[in-house]
Structures are given as C-alpha cells and as structure tokens.
Amino acid sequence: MSNQAAWLSSEHGQLEVKEAAYSKPGPGEVLIKNHVVAINPIDAKIQEHGVLVKTYPFILGFEVAGEIEEVGEGVTRFEKGERVCGLAIALRTQNLAHAGFQLHTCAIQFAVARIPTSVSYAQAAVLPIGLATAASGLFEPQYLGLPPPGPTPSANAEKRAILIWGGSSVVGSCAIQMAAATGLIVFTTASAKNHEYVRGLGAAYVFDYSNPNIVKEILAAVVGAGVELVGAYDVISEDDTTEKCAEVVHHFGGGVLLATRLGNRPEGVMLGDVRRSVVRPPSPTATEMPVWIAIWADFLEQGLEDGRLKAKPDPIVIKGGLDMCQEGLDLYRKGVSAAKIVVEIEE
Ligand SMILES: NC(=O)c1ccc[n+]([C@@H]2O[C@H](COP(=O)([O-])OP(=O)(O)OC[C@H]3O[C@@H](n4cnc5c(N)ncnc54)[C@H](OP(=O)(O)O)[C@@H]3O)[C@@H](O)[C@H]2O)c1
C-alpha cells in the first residue's frame, strides 16, 4: 500500500505533498483512510513560529475523518469499513504515523468514534480536538472534575453554572454542548452575530465580548439567576479575556479558571484565590482514560446519533486533496467565526 502526506519540511516552510510511509496500526490502534482532515490553530502556530515540533520534516494535522482501513492487535471496538472521526496525536508521540495531513493516519482506538450516516465526514472532522479539549477541562480530575454527561442531565446540576468565554469558537462550541448536557447552566460570550448560534448549542446566557461593561453584566446575570458558579473556561486565553474571567470568578469567592493556552499569563494563583490552570493537549493516559471512554464511546458516538451532540460549528470545506492543506492554513490565518476549515481528500 502507498501513502502520501503534506510535509512541513522545515521551520516556517510551506507544506509540500510527497510520498510517506504506509504504517500498519500498532496494538490498540486503527488505521484510518482519511476522507477529510481539519485545520486547527495549532497547525498555523507551528508553521508560523516553529514551536512544539522536535524534528523536521514533520506532518501537521490533528484531526481526521474517514473509514477504518485496518485494525491493530487487541482492537475490539472497530471493524474495517466503519465511518469514524479521530484525533491524530503525532505532536504527543512525535510518530509521523499518528499525523493527520496524510492519506492514512494511525489513531489510538480510544480517540476514535463512529459517526452516523446522517453526519458527513466534513461535519464530523470539526469535533475531535474541540471535544477532547473541552472534555479534559470540564471532566478530568486535575481540572474541573465535573461528572461527564450521562444519557440525561444530572439532577444536582440545575443550580450550578459555568462561564465559557469564547462560545462560538470550536472548543467553546463543544464545551457549551457538554456542559449543558451535564445540566450546568451555561453563561458564554460571542460576537452579536453568533448569539443565536450559541443559544442553539445550549447556552442560557450570552454576552457580546465587545461590550465594555461585560464583566458587570455577567456578574449581575449570575446573581440574578441565583446559581453557583463552578468556574470559568477561557477558551480564547488572551490577556484581557483571562483578566475578565478571573474578575468574574473572583467575585464569587475564588475558584477555578481554565484556559486553552498559556498566553502571557503563567499558571497558578491570580487575583485573590482564583487558580488558573491550562488544559494540556488531550491524550488518553491512564488517569484520563475514564473520561475518554465516556466521551468518545458514549457522548460523541451516541450523542451524534440521539441528538445530544451537534456536529458544530459548520465546516468550511476546501476540495482538492492534500495539496489544499496549505491553502486551508492560509485561509485560517485570515480568521474564522463559528466555523472550522476542513480539507476534503476524497468524497
Ligand atoms: N489546550 C489545548 O490542547 C488546545 C486544543 C485546541 C485549541 N487550543 C487553543 O484554544 C484556542 C481556541 O481554539 P479554537 O479552535 O476553538 O478557535 P477558533 O474556533 O479558531 O476561534 C475563533 C473564534 O474565537 C472567537 N473569539 C475571538 N476572540 C474572542 C474574544 N476576545 N472573546 C470571545 N470570543 C472570541 C470568535 O468569536 P466570534 O466569531 O463570535 O467573534 C471565533 O468564533 C486557540 O488558541 C487554540 O490554539 C488549545
């Protein structure tokens, strides 16, 4: 069998499509024949700043959707031919077989989920990183440690609330849906044009982040709703978003502020007793495994089927195969709003 990849041959280089090794899936892995690969902020940052990659040439791409081509030893969850989406973890393993921007990707079975026929590959490819990052922050014990969503909302959660700053982003869209599915009341921020969008995902209160009085308004709404704020998830993690989230959390007597990235703020205590933790790139280790099984085998797979999870935001599809990955990155750099760019490799 042959394989091709969009290679990043050096720091700051342009992607170039060339032959790549065809790797068999290892134990506990599946080999996915990719139909669609998605473009993420991290791909753009690595190409621009030369960060995180230890050796070149490297292959970017951290989420894919396609069909199972082969299953490795010990895999019982999947069979050849099934339609799936999955996380490509080459950054964690530095093993190019695990990279996304290629025709075939090896993925660990617990970071792969079947997709129903009602969901296209392009729609499914928007989910893996957003869902995994949101789930880590909300449910893993080292972060908020909330109970993962079950088939019905948790009975105790109805007076508990969370602030998700950046609800129309990909990670924010997933965080809203998962938090709402656990019964939490979701307060979020988005630009005005995306308020209906985030409400449709389950947010109860939405604030325009360009409003200079936004912190006051969020505080008043939390008090008015008579809810307990369990924490804030700062998906955007710019200096000002972090400060505003910290102010809200601090007002209620300290608590937890999660961020998707470090930015200029160190982790640790800030503003009184508000503790800021940065959610690490998701990868299923032993302690994280219970959350991963709940999310990938239950929430993603069954949630798409029974409507608890929507494949959102919508994809912007670029057709034309691996050659278009560079165009996808260039387009991402121009900015996206409640959308994810995906590249179609095969219909
Ligand atoms: N820790 C990890 O493992 C991990 C994993 C994935 C992503 N990340 C990081 O998390 C961040 C988000 O990633 P993503 O893929 O979800 O981003 P994205 O979808 O590309 O972000 C675009 C969205 O951000 C919103 N936005 C921009 N500035 C905002 C602000 N000041 N306040 C509120 N919303 C704002 C925009 O909202 P409007 O269109 O409504 O204006 C837009 O919809 C990135 O920095 C990424 O690198 C980290």
* Structure tokens, 323: 């050659």
Q: What is the bridge-based pairing of β-strands 160-165 and 228-234? A: parallel
Burial 168-203 (b: 16+ CB within 10 A, else e): bbbbbbbbbbbbbbbbbbbbbbbeeebbebbbebbb
Mutate to test the pocket of ligand 1, among 142, 235, 243 (most ligand atoms within 8 A of CB): 235
What average pLDDT score do residues 284-313 get? 86
Which pLDDT score, from 0 to 100, does residue 121 have? 98
> 214-225 vs 239-251: helix axis angle to the nearest 10?
30
In whole angstroms, what is the distance from residue 93 CA to residue 146 CA? 28
**What pLDDT, on a 0 to 100 scale, did the predictor assign at position 1?**
86
Topology of the domain covering 3-127+312-344: Quinone Oxidoreductase; Chain A, domain 1 (3.90.180)
Residue pLDDT, tens place only, 227-275: 999 999 999 999 999 999 999 999 998 789 999 998 888 899 888 889 9
Distance of CA 337 from the midpoint of ligand 1 (Å) = 9
> Does residue 33 carry a pLDDT above 90?
yes
Q: Which residue's C-alpha comes closest to atom 43 of ligand 1? A: 337
- Contact by Cβ (8 Å): 87, 111: yes
Residue 141 clears pLDDT 90, i.e. is over it:
no
Per-residue model confidence as pLDDT tens digits over 150-197 = 876 665 567 999 999 999 999 999 999 999 999 999 999 999 999 999
What per-residue confidence (pLDDT) applies to 19?
Answer: 98
Average pLDDT (7-20) is 96
CATH number of 131-278: 3.40.50.720
Ligand 1 neighbour 41 (Cβ under 6 A):
yes
With a 6 Å cutoff on the Cβ, whether 124 touches ligand 1 is no
Separation CA 44–CA 330 (nearest Å): 8
Cα 1 to middle of ligand 1, angstroms: 38
Look over the chain and give the mean of its residue pLDDT values, rounded to a whole number. Answer: 94
With a 6 Å cutoff on the Cβ, whether 92 touches ligand 1 is no
What are the domain boundaries of the chain? 3-127+312-344, 131-278
Same fold flag, 3-127+312-344 and 131-278: no
